[in-house]
Amino acid sequence: MSTASAGRRKKGSSTRARNILRGYLFILPCILLLLLVLGFPMVAAVANSFTPLWSPEKTFTLANYFSLLEDVLFWNALKVTGIFVGGTVGLHLVLGFIVALALNTAIRAKKIFRVIAILPWTVPDVISGLIWRFMYNPTSGIINDVLMRIGIGGDYIEWLARPGLALPSVIIADVWRGYPFVMIILLAGLQAIPKELYEAARVDGASRLQEFVNVTIPGVMRIMLIALALDTIWQIRRFGLIYNMTLGGPGHVTEILSLYVYKHYFKYFNFEYASAIAVVMALTMLAISYPYIRTITRRA
């Protein structure tokens, strides 16, 4: 009997070892690819921000980070990114929520509306940028023309060339492109709220506002936070839209961080400095997304 149990234990531990091995074998290709294509460039970028990797003279320096502190354009890019991300994510959420609520009420032909509601999100951001750029065209664009017809405009407004208007204009274009994502996610969340909760609230005599605050909001909270986290991360990285609408201009008023790093890399060829900015950007993104990563990992 003792030998039997010992045998079982031995067998058990070898199965366990084999399972560990198998688990690693399955995730190995994924990890190798990530190390090769993400890990290596990441380490290189971080190293490069401290010492010029691709030049014969290799000295450790913090100079890149110090010049960051004094770089007006870096702070400008940080501010522009903040306004762009805050503005777009906020508006995606508000508009997405309103439309999701509307689509969630009993209406006819739901399917076709759902398809129409998602359409803008299917367009690559490069193409959305181009469409809106032509819509904003001062003389041949539709926006000024409509405004003039309904009597608000009356002027050939340079939406993308006027410093005060360029960033809001870009944000509006991105709201069109991006809100449907938040909307479909929220719609899925709304539909997952059990009907009984609403019935119970009604029995208790809750007003519509109370129903919204006490049933709807808590019901979609988790999924809403996920949508917000994903959207924020995607918006910080957005590139093609602004690249094609304004290229950061006029001046630097729409120059978001990703564009600023890109310019330092491939226009001014300041590899080390560009790396330093990108490192700061990456750290910011990791910090913002840390709660999201933790939650997801813990639930896995």
Told to check if 6 binds other proteins by CB under 8 A, we report no
User: Per CB under 8 A, does 63 bind other proteins?
Assistant: no
Nearer to other proteins, 10 or 202 (CB): 202
Measure the N-to-C terminal CA separation of the chain; round to a whole number of Å: 39
Task: Scan residues 146-175 and list those touching other proteins (CB under 8 A).
Answer: 148
Cα separation values, 263 from 71, 246, 266, 271, Å: 14, 14, 5, 10
Site stretch for other proteins (CB under 8 A), options 56-64, 67-75, 130-138, 159-167: 130-138
Residue pair 189/223 in contact (Cβ under 8 Å)? The answer is yes
> How far is it, in rounded angstroms, from Cα 87 to Cα 183?
16
What whole-number distance in Å separates Cα of residue 123 and Cα of residue 246?
19
131 binds other proteins, rule: CB under 8 A: yes
126 binds other proteins (CB under 8 A): yes
**Selected binder of other proteins within 236, 246, 253, 255 (CB under 8 A):** 236
59 interacts with other proteins by CB under 8 A = no
Nearer to other proteins, 5 or 139 (CB): 139
User: What is the closest distance, in whole angstroms, from the C-beta atom of residue 218 to other proteins in the complex?
Assistant: 13
Nearest-5° Cα angle at 101, 172 to 122: 45
Binding of other proteins by 289 (CB under 8 A): yes
Q: What is the DSSP string of 227-290?
A: HHHHHHHHHHH--HHHHHHTTT-STTTT--HHHHHHHHHHTS--HHHHHHHHHHHHHHHHHHHH
The window from 7-15, 60-68, 163-171, 271-279 that contacts other proteins (CB under 8 A) reads: 271-279
| Residue 83 binds other proteins, judged by CB under 8 A | no
CB 84 within 8 A of CB 177: no
Is residue 228 near other proteins by the rule CB under 8 A? no
Q: Whole-number minimum distance, CB 153 to other proteins, in Å? A: 11
Q: Does residue 296 touch other proteins according to CB under 8 A?
A: yes
Closer to other proteins at the Cβ: 117 or 167?
117
d(CA 277, CA 178): 26
Q: Is 240 in the site for other proteins (CB under 8 A)?
A: yes
**Residue 257 to residue 244: CA distance in whole angstroms:** 15
